[in-house]
Amino acid sequence: MTAAAQKQRGARKATPSRAVALRPSLPATRSPQLSPPPVQEHDLLWGSVSGDTIDRQVHATLARLTFGISPASLYEAYTDWAVHLAMSPGKQAHLMQKAVRKALRFANYAQGCAREGAKAPNCIEPLAQDKRFDAPAWQQFPFNLLQQSFLLTQQWWHNATTEVPGVSQHHEDMVSFAARQLLDIFSPANFIATNPEVLQATAQEGGANLQRGAEQFLADWERLIAGKPPVGAERFVPGESVAVTPGEVVYRNELIELIQYKPQSPKVFADPVLIVPAWIMKYYILDLSPENSLVRYLVERGHTVFMISWKNPESSDRDRSYDDYRRLGVMAAIDHISAAMPKRPINAAGYCLGGTLLATAAAAMARDNDTRLKSITLLAAQVDFTQAGELTLFIDDSQVCFLEDMMWEQGYLDTKQMAGAFQLLRSNDLIWSQVLRLYLLGQKPQMTDLMAWNADSTRMPYRMHSEYLRGLFLNNNLARGQHMVDGRPINLADIRVPIFAIGTERDHVAPWTSVHKITFHPATDVTFLLASGGHNAGIVSPPGKDGRHYRVSTKAAGERYQDPETWFTATPEHEGSWWPQWQHWLAQHSGAKVTPPEFGVSLGAAPGRFVQQR
Q: What angle do CA 354, 356, 359 make, to 5 degrees?
A: 110
- Alpha carbon dihedral 502, 425, 166, 384, in 10-degree steps, equals -20
Q: How far is CA 152 from CA 51, 149, 187, 189, 192, in A?
A: 49, 5, 12, 15, 21
Are 436 and 195 in contact, with CB atoms under 8 Å apart?
yes
Spell 24-49 as b/e; 16+ CB within 10 A means b: beeeeeeebeeeeeeeeeebeeeeee
Q: Is 113 a catalytic residue?
A: no
Q: What is the C-alpha to C-alpha distance for residues 182 and 420, in angstroms, rounded to an integer?
A: 14
Q: What is the C-alpha to C-alpha distance for residues 36 and 151, in angstroms, rounded to an integer?
A: 49
Q: What is the C-alpha to C-alpha distance for residues 107 and 126, in angstroms, rounded to an integer?
A: 18
Q: What is the C-alpha to C-alpha distance for residues 298 and 300, in angstroms, rounded to an integer?
A: 5
Q: What is the C-alpha to C-alpha distance for residues 309 and 259, in angstroms, rounded to an integer?
A: 7
DSSP assignment of 75-114: HHHHHHHHHHHHT-HHHHHHHHHHHHHHHHHHHHHHHHHH
Helices and strands in the chain: count of H runs, count of E runs = 22, 16
HSE on the CB side for 184, CA within 13 Å? 23
Question: How far from chain centre, in Å, is Cα 558?
Answer: 31
Candidates 113, 123, 352, 401; catalytic one = 352
Q: How far is CA 174 from CA 3, 89, 180, 187, 430, in A?
A: 19, 22, 10, 20, 19
- Alpha carbon dihedral 403, 407, 412, 414, in 10-degree steps, equals -50
Number of Cβ within a 10 Å radius of residue 280:
19
Nearest one of 294, 316, 584 to 450, comparing CA atoms: 294
Q: What 3-state DSSP class applies to 448?
A: coil
Which residues are catalytically annotated? 352
